Structure 1
Amino acid sequence: MDLEQREINVGTISPYFEQYFGHKPTVVAASPGRVNLIGEHTDYNNGFVLPMALENNCVVAVAPSPTGKHRWCGSLGDTIYEIPVEEASEKGEPFWSNYVRGVVALLGRRGIEVGPVDMLIDSNVPRGGGLSSSAALEVAVCTALAAQFDADISSKDKALIGQAVEHEFVNVPCGIMDQFVSAHGKKGHALMLDCADLEYKLIPMDDPEVSVLVLDSAVKHSLADGAYGQRRKQCEEAARILNVPSLREADLQMVEAAKAELGDVRYRRARHVVGENNRVQAFAGAIATRNWDAAGVAMRGSHASLRDDYEVSCPEVDTLVSLCDSIPSASSIYGARMTGGGFGGCIVALVKTKDVDKVGQELLDAYRAATGIETIYLVTRAGDGARVLSRK
Structure 2
Amino acid sequence: MKDLFEGVYKKFKSHFDSEPILIQSPGRVNLIGEHTDYNMGFVLPAAIDKMIVLGFAANGSEKIRLHSIDMQQSYVVALKRDLEKSDHHWANYILGVIDQLQTRGDEIGGFDCVFGGDIPIGAGLSSSAALEGGVALGLSKLFDLSITKTEMAKIGQAAENHFVGMQCGIMDQFANIHGKEGHALKLDCRSLEFELYPFRRSDIKIILCDTNVHRELTSSEYNIRRQQCEEGVQVLKKYYPEIKSLRDVNLPTLKKHMGDFNPTVFQRCKFVLEENNRVEAACEALTKDDLDTFGKLMYKSHYGLRDLYEVSCKELDALVAIAETLDGVFGSRMMGGGFGGCTINLVKEEFVDEFISTVEEGYSEQVGEGLQIYKASISDGAKQIFQNSSFWLIEN
Q: TM-score, normalised to structure 1's length?
A: 0.91
* Structure 2 partner of 1:320: 319
Alpha-carbon displacement from aligned partner over 1:324-343 (angstroms, at most 9, x marks no partner): 023xxx12100101111111
Instruction: Give the stretch that moved more between structures: 265-274 or 293-302.
Output: 265-274
Deviation at 1:9, TM superposition (A): 4.8
Distance 2:215 2:159 in 1: 25
Residue matched to 1:75: 69
CA distance in 2, matches of 1:280, 1:293: 15
Residues 165 and 218 in structure 2, CA contact (< 8 A), matched pair in contact too: no
For 1:232, the aligned partner's letter is R
Q: Which moved more, 1:379-388 or 1:11-20?
A: 11-20
CA deviations over 1:214-237 (Å, ceiling 9, x no partner): 111111357684633433333233
Q: 1:105 pairs with 83, 95, 99, which one? A: 99
Q: Deviations over 1:303-354 (max 9, x none)?
A: 111111111111111111001023xxx1210010111111111111111122
Code of the residue aligned with 2:248 in structure 1: it is: E
Paired positions, count: 383
Whole-Å separation in 2 of the counterparts to 1:260 and 1:8: 59
User: CA separation in 2, counterparts of 1:248 and 1:110?
Assistant: 29
Which whole-Å deviations, capped at 9, do the CAs of 1:179-223 have from their partners, x for residues lacking one? 111011011111111111111111111111111111111113576
User: Contact 2:81/2:102 (CA < 8 Å) preserved in 1?
Assistant: no
Task: Say whether the 8 Å CA contact 2:60–2:109 is kept in structure 1.
Answer: no
Conservation of the 8 A alpha-carbon contact between 1:336 and 1:349 = yes
Give the corresponding residue for 2:339: 343
Q: In structure 2, how many angstroms separate the alpha carbons of the residues matched to 1:138 and 1:35?
A: 16
Q: Which moved more, 1:109-118 or 1:51-60?
A: 109-118
Q: Would the aligned equivalents of 2:64 and 2:76 in 1 still touch at CA under 8 Å?
A: yes
Residue type matched to 2:18 in 1? H
Written as runs of structure 1 = structure 2, the 5 A alignment for 1:1-392 is 8-25=3-20, 27-65=21-59, 69-75=63-69, 78-86=72-80, 89-220=83-214, 225=219, 227-242=221-236, 243=240, 244-326=243-325, 330-390=326-386
Match of 2:394 in 1: none
CA distance in 1, matches of 2:199, 2:352: 16
Q: Distance between the aligned counterparts of 2:336 and 2:128, measured in 1?
A: 14
| Equivalent-residue separation in structure 2 for 1:318 and 1:251 (angstroms) | 28
Aligned partners of 2:74 and 2:227: how far apart in 1? 42
Q: Secondary structure at the match of 2:88?
A: coil
Percent identity between matched residues is 39
CA distance in 1, matches of 2:142, 2:216: 39
Q: Give RMSD over aligned pairs.
A: 2.2
- Gapped regions of structure 1 (runs ≥ 5): 1-5
| CA–CA separation in structure 2 for the residues paired with 1:10 and 1:309 | 43
Secondary structure of the equivalent of 2:213? strand
AA of the residue aligned to 2:19: K
In terms of mean alpha carbon deviation, does 236-245 or 117-126 score higher? 236-245
Contact 1:30–1:57 (Cα < 8 Å) also in 2 = yes
Structure 1 CA distance, aligned partners of 2:123 and 2:289? 28
Name the residue aligned to 1:3: none
Shift of 1:116: 2.0
How much does 1:170 deviate? 1.1
**Kindly tell me: are residues 257 and 387 of structure 1, through their superposed partners in 2, closer, same or farther at Cα, counting changes over 3 Å?**
same
Give 1:87 shift. Answer: 7.5
The 3 A distance-change label for structure 1 pair 192 and 372 is same
DSSP-derived class of the 1:96 partner: helix
Structure 2, unmatched stretches of 5+, are 389-396
* Structure 1, 16-25 or 274-283: larger mean CA deviation: 16-25
TM-score after normalising by structure 2: 0.90
